[in-house]
Structure 1
Amino acid sequence: MNEADVREEVIAPLIKAMGYRTGTEHNVLRELSLTYSRVQLGREKANDPPLRGKADYVLEAGGRVRWIIEAKAPAAPLDAAVEAQAWSYANHPEVRAIYFLVTNGRQFRLYVTNRGPDAAPVLEFAYEEIPQRLAAITNTLGPAAMLRDHPDIVIDDGAPLGPGLRSTLRISSGRLKVHRVEPAIAPIDQMTVSIVDGSASRRPDGGITVSYRTEVAVNVLQTMNEQIGLNIVDLVTDDDVLSTDPAHPTVFRAVRDLLIPKGSATIDINTWQHEKAPVDFRVQVAIEARGHLVGQKFAGSFTSTMRMSFDMPGAGRKVLDFKNFGSFELTLV
């Protein structure tokens, strides 16, 4: 078996199995000619001729993310010279490949280009291992994996919301934990609320808005949250950046005023059973959250107050006040 056999009998089936096809979105470029200028080679003489090379395979995921394969004959050692040659192709300004793979058909070694030609491989496998390891190899080098792990760079020209953050952020996860309720209400005391998604952005007039969506594992509590509008929460602060100082936290506030009409499906907070509202209920909610940044986490404490007012026939106007004290943590990406 020679180098041509390695290409046709070993490499071609492998890249096809991973999802690459010539002339498609996930393209295969074979024997790509490359020219190296005297500047690239560190030469100073203007009359030094350019050096030319030829990359055996350049794989393109989505037409933009590249990695290369350098093939050798089975008897050829995968030594430092081979690694340096493959790196020079991967690092060429016309290629700019993320990875380079060297193989003699028996052994395969994958390297990260920007770590240089002398770095250790990040993945090694033998030809006999390909059937068992194909899924793992594809999860690193397949088109979907390459696009997943190396997304397009988006320039963010807005002012960051905090050190190391972008000007707009996604809340990937989080939680609210109620530590105390006044007056005590057993199902709410020590309740944990999951924050399932959300965002943070700067308002046009200054300050920051944080929006998030919550879920509670207990169905009746989730229903109550949805009814009083706490399943989707919008908070604002006048601060332009998120604080990193626990002694001077960023303070977010939200206010909500809504009406639960008579006859609407609701929750009786005495029995925690579903019922129809016997009268019109006015619900006023105010939230204050104080937090600071630690890396990608924004965490702190919160208080929330809820006032329910309603008119009972023959008993006049009634007002019920509740207050929650707790902690929160958001993961920002």
Structure 2
Amino acid sequence: MPIVPSPRPPVLCRRGFGQLAVVAAAACVAGGAARAQGNTAIRFALDRRFDGLTAPFLAAQDKGYFGAEGLDVTIEPGNGSRAMLQRLATGAQDAGFGDVNALIRFRDENPSTDLKAVMIIHDRPGFALIGRKSRGITAEPASLEGRKLGTASTDASFAQWPIFKSLNKIDDSKIKLEIVGLPVREPMLASGELDAAFGFGTSTYVSLKGRGVPAEDIVLMEMADHGLVLYGSAVIVAGKFAASKPDAVRGLVRAVMRGIRDAVANPGASAQLVVRRNEDAQLEIEREKLGMVIERNVLTPYVRAHGLGGIDSERWSRVLDQLTLAGSFRDKARAGDAFSDAFLPPAGERMF
């Protein structure tokens, strides 16, 4: 696919994780004069800081793919899927990127809120426990018993712990769980203060290597390898926005698809877009994160056979059943009505 150069510099400025709403608002004001008149504005919320996993969205912005669809997209970093969903529900943002399972639960807990996933990005979820062989962790979930596990309270992988431990018959009374902040989770794992930690598998694996932990000492225990059938992260839109501007949502999905194609073709160039926005990011680490997530989570055998973005209805039913292991639904039908394929391009245009 040809690369369309951006007719103007990106709106967002390079910044660290702590500078969220204030800097983003300032960037919007600064970039306002450069925006194309008549474009539909979309406020797009991420569930994380700018990193390799978000590179396709940045490519869609910097390469002008959003603009080519008549869109003016402002991308803001975030801190967890729940917070992102709240921003969409309150109208602070129009669309976002986050865990579709959190969306299903959010719909059940907030029956007056209508948020929908319109494009599955991670057909295989990144939910994982990442451990150290030298701390007694093996590829078997039973090895977690008797160990010290760390997690951030907002971590999406930790949200799946009730399901994972049920599927694998883990006695969590034998586990010491410590709630830690995101900035210290990986340093504590690298220093040996934790035996394992919850996280997005490929991202944490690469970050640990970057901290000097030998690859042969890292155990990547991906929940999808141990019974979890859930999907991962998706593009999510506010129902009101989708109803009033359906063509804009279709254009958003097409532009994101082009950004993913860019990331697949040249992960190094896409990772550079992350480094421009995140002063703590390292190019090679973000490139490896992006390459691994594309290989393991995005371009799965199902996606290569059926195209990116959609769901398998039989698997979706199993997802809903599996989520009940973490708690029953008030209204399972409404909770499960969390995905729409109405905004996806034809399957032939979604093939890789």
Instruction: Give the TM-score normalised by structure 2.
Output: 0.19
Kindly indicate which of the two structures has a greater share of residues assigned to helix: 2
CA radius of gyration, larger in: 1
Kindly indicate which of the two structures has a greater share of residues assigned to strand: 1
Instruction: Give the TM-score normalised by structure 1.
Output: 0.20
